[in-house]
């Protein structure tokens, strides 16, 4: 039980990830497939964001008064014994990089979703349905005869 | 080297960045361009420039060794580094040359298949797709790989769906590709996330160095490897994950099918090679096992299953699409052997397959352009009605089978040698058996074209109607390339050997300016 709460972020990520994947594979409705895909992608965003949290770290915004004497830890990272220059700063920041990465990934996700929805609109216009199995059934006959409309 | 003086200064110093940035920037201008002709001319110019740049980069790599380029002047591992060596330089040239030839071919083909007002954006999407592929191959930053992967994929979904004016199945195929491709890319980015969790860096060389320190026992790194292999496996159409491929190849506009078939899976395969052999350590137990059992095993399964499926298809492009899955199997089999000879065979087959599949799909597009032919049964008499196109198709087709004197034979021969060296005698049997299957599915088309009478319309045989020159030139460049490199084998083989040398050298920890130690990320509590 404690293991679940110690790694609560991972539990959330895994639940969301599996839900999303399951929805993509289980449903035949194209819109629902896209919903599942979005949930799946969002779980990855959460994974990255929760990585960037450093225990006791504050938001990575540099205050002018912290600047004096602050320097990057030279070798070990946050766990290693801090050297004197680092001690002088006495500020621990959360890692800002994953946020930046995920901003990019969110944009990618939005673009994918937009293209997907646009495709669904076109599919609805042409096939008259957005159920994947019905479309496959229609396509199957065409694939056999090899002639499309 | 004397030939280097042919290239201007900026290619030698900024070629690595400009080959990606120029198509990306000009895509915007192309999209806004009201004239389709002008848009086409822009694309032709850009792709010609890419060929020139890629040639400069390849010669530079061959004479001075790997190129490190710091994007925006920020040194890796903090900044994004671009890295070009013997592994990706030939691939850059390959993608650029195929893009250039396909653009030549696009002029008549796009007019026939794409509505006038959509032509400008169509070319723009093609440039974005090209930039994405070139970026995937050039960059040395793992997250940047994901971004370029998605840039090329998203524009590919759009371009595949543009085939809807010709066949409505393009829409459902594009949607399937979107779902599978996004899952693949997301799996890849999960893998990168786990690697970042353990190493705190995104630069591939720095990652390789830190992974060496972490060692093979780390559970999270193992998980990252699994996610990356499956994610890239989806993108490169590894056998059971190939379901998106036949639809996407069969119903995309024929110009884009030729480009897609020749380049997209190759770029993903390059990433698999780069990650498996130079970021992770192939000597680690689980990686060696995965390479041997998963890659070679799935390669073999794909060769047999996809070749069999290709025989039973009616649509010409579906035959060739299933054959592509089978050919990816040959590449994976070579890579799965993990010996220098096996890697050479896999890499060489990657280049050769691009040459012959590009030619085949260009010819098939020309059949449709002149006679609206999509079915194998409709190919009757094409040897008389389109002799030059059909001759090019035949040369590429016999190369696909692996007849001596063509490129297909060279790579299959090296693959057989590599299998013999490993003692995998059964693999040789499978290679021969699937080549026989290739004789059946290619021979079926050639037989229809040359030995069946020309079809009659209103009691008169169909007249000779050759494809336009803009289609014949790229077709014959590729067809002749498959003959020339099949006889003059040294040039391509030495390039593949150089690439295999890079791969068998193990993890690449070569960071310019020495290692800079980043703070380790402690995540999640």
Listed by start position, the domains of chain B span: 8-281, 284-505
Rounded Cα distance between B243 and B180, Å, is 8
Band of the pLDDT at B1, cuts 50, 70, 90? low
Angle of CA points B16, B88, B234, to nearest 5°: 115
Say yes or no to pLDDT of B111 above 90.
no
Q: Do B520 and A78 touch (CB under 8 A)?
A: yes
Does position A88 have pLDDT exceeding 70, yes or no?
Answer: no
Instruction: Give the C-alpha distances (Å, rounded to integers) separating B437 from B168, B357, B375, B483.
Output: 30, 17, 19, 22
Q: Are B345 and B414 in contact (CB under 8 A)?
A: yes
In chain B, pLDDT over 70 holds for what percent of residues? 97
- Binding-face residues of A in 54-73 toward B, CB within 8 A: 54-55, 72-73
| Per-residue confidence (pLDDT) for residue A82, from 0 to 100 | 46
**Rounded Cα distance, B499 and B266, in Å:** 14
Which pLDDT belongs to residue A85? 47
- For residue B428, the distance in angstroms to the closest alpha carbon of chain A comes to 34
Does pLDDT of B304 surpass 90?
yes
pLDDT at residue B97, as a whole number: 94
Task: Please tell me the pTM assigned to this model.
Answer: 0.90
Answer whether A40 touches B (CB < 8 Å).
Answer: yes
pLDDT of the residue at A79: 45
Residue B438 pLDDT > 50, yes or no? yes
CATH topology of domain A2-54+81-145: Helix Hairpins (1.10.287)
B255 contacts: CB under 8 Å, gap ≥ 6 = B102, B105, B106, B109, B110, B113, B365
Chain B: closest CA distance from residue A76 (Å): 7
Pick the more confident residue, B75 or A148. B75
Out of A126, A144, A149, whose CB is closest to B171?
A: A126
pLDDT at B399 (0 to 100): 93
pLDDT at B525 over 50: no
Per CB-CB distance under 8 Å, the chain A contacts of B321 are none
Q: Dump pLDDT digits (tens) for B391-436.
A: 999 999 999 998 998 999 999 999 999 999 988 899 999 999 999 9
Give contacts of B193 with chain A, Cβ < 8 Å: 44, 47-48, 51
pLDDT tens digits, one per residue of B112-124? 888 888 888 899 9
Q: Which of A5-9, A26-30, A86-90, B170-174 has the lowest mean pLDDT?
A: A86-90
**pLDDT above 70 for B162:** yes
- Chain B, residues 293-332, CB within 8 A of chain A, namely 314-315, 318
Q: Which of residues 372-401 of B touch A (CB under 8 A)?
A: 374-375
* ipTM computed for the complex: 0.87
Mean pLDDT, range B252-260, rounded to an integer: 91
- From B168, B519, B525, residue closest to A126, measured CB to CB: B168
Residue A75 has pLDDT above 70, yes or no: no
Q: Is B128's pLDDT higher than 70?
A: yes
Does B368 touch chain A if contact means CB atoms closer than 8 Å? no
- CA B396 vs CA B98, B205, B206, B401: distances in Å: 15, 39, 42, 9
Are the Cβ atoms of B172 and A123 closer than 8 angstroms? yes
pLDDT at B334: 92
Of B147, B175, B519, nearest to A30 by CB-CB distance is: B175
Residue B63: pLDDT above 70? yes
Nearest CA in chain B to A50: B524
Question: Which positions in chain B touch A33 (Cβ < 8 Å)?
Answer: 179
Residues 483 to 522 of B: which have CB under 8 A from any A CB?
517-522
Q: Are residues B183 and A21, on separate chains, in Cβ contact within 8 Å?
A: yes
Q: State the nearest Cα–Cα gap between A138 and chain B, in angstroms.
A: 10
DSSP SS3 for B185: helix
In this predicted structure, the answer to whether residue A10 has a pLDDT above a threshold of 80 is yes
Q: Which of B154-158, B162-166, B455-459, B518-522 has the highest mean pLDDT?
A: B154-158
Residue B289's CB is within 10 A of a number of other CB atoms, namely: 10
Euclidean distance between the first and the last CA atom of chain A, given in angstroms as a whole number: 59
Tokens of B317: 């492009």
Judged by CB atoms closer than 8 Å, whether chains meet at A127 and B147 is answered as no
- Cβ burial B224-247 (10 Å sphere, 16+ → b, else e): bbbbbbbbbbbbbbbbebbebbbb
Q: Which of A146, A147, A149 to mutate to test the interface with B (most CBs of B within 10 A)?
A: A146
Cross-chain residue pair B179–A55, CB shorter than 8 Å: no
Q: Is the dihedral of CA B265, B271, B277, B282 positive or negative?
A: negative
Q: Which residue of A has its CA nearest to B153?
A: A112
Closest CA to B402 of B360, B356, B435: B435
Average pLDDT, chain B: 88
Q: Is pLDDT of B149 > 60?
A: yes
Q: Closest residue of A to B198, CA-based?
A: A51
Best mutation target, B168, B190, B203, B318, to test chain A (most A CBs within 10 A): B168
Segment B229-244, tens digit of pLDDT = 999 999 999 888 988 9
**Which pLDDT score is estimated for A149?**
41
**Chain A to chain B Cβ contacts (< 8 Å):** 122
Is B315–A53 a contact, with Cβ atoms under 8 angstroms apart?
Answer: no
Under the banding of pLDDT at 50, 70 and 90, the label for residue B69 is confident
Of A95 and A78, more confident: A95
Question: pLDDT averaged over chain A?
Answer: 79
**Residue A65 banded pLDDT, cuts 50, 70, 90:** low
From the list B172, B197, B524, the residue facing A139 with the nearest CB is B172
pLDDT beyond 60 at A72: no
What's the CA gap between B19 and B164, in Å, rounded? 31
A22 interface with B at CB cutoff 8 Å:
no
Q: What is the pLDDT of residue A136?
A: 85
Residues in A closer than 8 angstroms to B164, CB to CB, are 122, 126
Band of pLDDT at residue B7, cut at 50, 70 and 90: confident
pLDDT band at A96 (very low <50, low <70, confident <90, very high): confident
Contact state of B525 with A7 under an 8 Å Cβ cutoff: yes
Q: For A131, phi and psi rounded to 5 degrees? A: -90, 125
Q: Where are the alpha helices (DSSP H) in B237-294?
A: 244-251, 254-273, 285-289
Shortest CB distance from A104 goes to which of B147, B174, B185? B147
Interval B259-281 mean pLDDT: 92
Q: Are A11 and A27 in contact (CB under 8 A)?
A: no
Q: Which of A55-64, A86-95, B159-168, B203-212 has the lowest mean pLDDT?
A: A86-95
Task: Scan residues 89-128 of A and list those with Cβ closer than 8 Å to B.
Answer: 95, 98, 101, 104-105, 108, 111-112, 115-116, 119-120, 122-123, 126-127
| CA distances from residue B406 to A48, A66, B429, B489 in whole angstroms, order as listed | 49, 68, 21, 9
Tell me, what's the pLDDT at B515?
Answer: 44
Question: Any CB–CB contact under 8 A between B89 and chain A?
Answer: no
Tens of pLDDT, residues B321-346 = 999 999 999 999 999 988 899 999 99
Out of B146, B517, B525, the one facing A75 most closely (by C-beta) is: B517
């Amino acid at each position: 039980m404690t293991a679940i709460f110690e790694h609560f972020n991972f539990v959330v990520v895994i639940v969301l990830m599996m839900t999303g994947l399951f929805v993509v594979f289980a449903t035949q409705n194209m819109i629902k497939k896209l919903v599942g895909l979005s949930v799946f992608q969002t779980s990855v965003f959460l994974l990255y964001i929760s990585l960037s949290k450093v225990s006791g770290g504050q938001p990575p915004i540099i205050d002018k008064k912290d600047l004096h004497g602050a320097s990057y830890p030279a070798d070990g990272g946050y766990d290693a014994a801090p050297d004197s220059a680092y001690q002088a700063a006495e500020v621990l920041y959360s890692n800002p990089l994953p946020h930046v990465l995920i901003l990019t990934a969110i944009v990618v996700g939005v673009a994918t979703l937009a293209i997907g929805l646009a495709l669904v609109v076109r599919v609805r216009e042409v096939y008259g349905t957005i159920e994947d199995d019905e479309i496959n059934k229609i396509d199957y006959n065409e694939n056999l005869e090899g002639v499309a409309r | 080297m004397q030939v280097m003086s042919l290239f201007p200064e900026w290619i030698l110093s900024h070629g690595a960045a400009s080959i990606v940035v120029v198509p990306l920037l000009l895509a915007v201008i192309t999209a806004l361009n009201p004239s389709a002709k002008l848009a086409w001319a822009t694309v032709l110019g850009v792709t010609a420039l890419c060929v020139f740049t890629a040639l400069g980069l390849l010669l530079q790599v061959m004479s001075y060794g790997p190129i490190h380029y710091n994007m925006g002047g920020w040194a890796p591992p903090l900044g994004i580094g671009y890295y070009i060596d013997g592994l990706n330089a030939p691939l850059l040239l390959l993608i650029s040359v195929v893009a250039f030839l396909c653009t030549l071919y696009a002029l008549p083909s796009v007019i026939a298949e794409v509505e006038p007002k959509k032509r400008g954006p169509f070319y723009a999407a093609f440039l974005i797709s090209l930039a994405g592929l070139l970026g995937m191959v050039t960059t040395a930053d793992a997250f940047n790989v994901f971004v370029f992967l998605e840039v090329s994929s998203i524009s590919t979904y759009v371009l595949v769906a543009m085939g809807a004016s010709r066949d409505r199945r393009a829409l459902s195929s594009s949607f399937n590709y979107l779902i599978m491709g996004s899952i693949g890319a997301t799996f890849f980015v999960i893998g990168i996330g786990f690697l970042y969790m353990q190493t705190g860096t995104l630069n591939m060389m720095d990652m390789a160095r830190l992974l060496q320190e972490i060692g093979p026992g780390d559970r999270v790194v193992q998980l990252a490897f699994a996610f990356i292999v499956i994610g890239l496996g989806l993108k490169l159409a590894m056998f059971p994950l190939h379901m998106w491929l036949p639809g996407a190849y069969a119903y995309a506009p024929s110009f884009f099918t030729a480009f897609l078939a020749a380049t997209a899976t190759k770029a993903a395969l390059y990433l698999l090679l780069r990650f498996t052999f130079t970021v992770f350590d192939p000597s680690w137990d689980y990686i060696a096992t995965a390479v041997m059992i998963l890659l070679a095993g799935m390669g073999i399964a794909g060769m047999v299953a996809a070749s069999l499926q290709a025989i039973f298809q009616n649509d010409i492009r579906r035959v060739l699409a299933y054959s592509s899955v089978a050919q990816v199997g040959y590449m994976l089999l070579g890579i799965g052997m993990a010996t220098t000879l096996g890697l050479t065979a896999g890499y060489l087959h990657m280049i050769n397959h691009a040459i012959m599949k590009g030619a085949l799909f260009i010819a098939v597009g020309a059949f449709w352009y002149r006679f609206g032919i999509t079915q194998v049964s409709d190919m009757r008499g094409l040897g008389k009605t389109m002799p030059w196109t059909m001759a090019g198709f035949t040369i590429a087709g016999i190369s696909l089978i692996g007849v001596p004197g063509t490129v297909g034979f060279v790579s299959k021969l090296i693959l057989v040698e590599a299998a013999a060296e490993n003692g995998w005698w059964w693999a040789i049997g499978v290679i021969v058996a699937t080549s026989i299957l290739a004789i059946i599915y290619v021979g079926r088309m050639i037989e229809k074209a040359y030995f069946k009478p020309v079809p009659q319309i209103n009691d008169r045989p169909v007249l000779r109607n050759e494809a336009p020159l803009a289609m014949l030139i790229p077709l014959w460049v590729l067809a002749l390339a498959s003959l020339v490199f099949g006889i003059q084998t040294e040039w391509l083989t030495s390039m593949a050997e150089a690439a295999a040398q890079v791969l068998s050298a193990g993890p690449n920890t070569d960071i310019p300016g020495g290692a800079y130690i980043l703070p380790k990320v402690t995540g999640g509590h």
